[in-house]
Amino acid sequence: MNTAKPTSTLAPEVRLKRPVIRVATDHDWAIHTPNGFYARFGGRCVDGALLLTCLPIALAPVLLIATINAFVFGSFRKMFYTQDRVGLRGKIFRIYKFRTMRDVEETAIQSWSSGQDVQRVTKFGRFLRSSHLDELPQLINVFIGDMSFIGPRPEMVEIEEWAAEIVPAFVTRLSIRPGITGFAQITQGYTTQDQAAYQTKLDLCLSYNESISFLVDISILWHTAIWMLRGKGWQWQDGKGRLARTATRTVANLNTEMPDPSPALPSRSRSTYEHGERL
């Protein structure tokens, strides 16, 4: 890997909707943004085509899942779950999911840090996560432009800050729109609070940025469909398991020359969230 650092420097702290992270200028972001016609325009064309195809097909399962979720959680108001995530170039947006976890006294970040997320998932939630059907409401995010079908997974604000502190330049993943699925998601799976796992996630995301193309995206969509059918959507690893080793070998086998991202970006003070989910 090329160890030469970009010549740009980070800009003074820029405030977005509310304090998140120190972000770079447009010029600094451009250094990490994939070039080429497909990277700039093709992805959104694919998103549009997939939306036209998926929305009519998804209507029936969305209604069925919403009804079951209302029964599981005892309220129609708890069918869905929303949460702030960090998206394109550090912008905060509201993500939509089917609810899969029961509420606890802890905040979402406390539950994730303590490893209690697994115990909070309902039986029906396990099915939704394994099949990735809990992500169906994110078609709304794709429609309004906050997300793409393929891209880095958007993290919760506090987790993005934590990762930026321990993994240099983790935020540079966000030079492209976050995705419902992506190279890291189908290669690595879900990750726990582990530095090695998040370093691997960054490597996988940057590898995708370097090789982004129509054929690569079709391959990711194909493998995502296989994961959904095989129920492999919800797999945890801590940087030491089989998925982690597979992901590490995948990065090594790519053998691509990538510029070393900018130094880690400072985080803001921690904020609290309503009881909720993370993934």
In a domain? residue 39:
yes
In a domain? residue 268:
no
In a domain? residue 38:
yes
Cα–Cα distances in angstroms (integers) from residue 63 to residues 19, 77, 80, 101, 129, in the given order: 36, 14, 12, 19, 17
Which candidate, 132, 160, 145, 190, places its Cα nearest to that of 264? 160
Supply the pLDDT for residue 104: 61
Of the two residues 28 and 248, the one the predictor is more confident about is 28
Q: How many domains does the chain have?
A: 1
In a domain? residue 276:
no
| 177-235 pLDDT, tens digit each | 999 999 998 888 777 778 888 999 999 999 999 899 999 999 999 999 988 888 766 55
- Average pLDDT over the chain reads 75
In a domain? residue 60:
yes
Give the rounded percent of residues in the chain with a pLDDT score beyond 70: 67
**123: containing domain:** 26-254
Residue 113 has pLDDT above 70, yes or no: no
Q: How far apart are CA 146 and CA 177, in angstroms?
A: 7
In a domain? residue 77:
yes
In a domain? residue 114:
yes
Give the rounded percent of residues in the chain with a pLDDT score beyond 90: 38
Residue 91 has pLDDT above 50, yes or no: yes
In a domain? residue 161:
yes
Q: Supply the pTM of this predicted model.
A: 0.73
**Type of residue numbered 167:** V
Supply the pLDDT for residue 36: 86
Highest mean pLDDT among 14-23, 109-118, 206-215: 206-215
DSSP state of 169: T
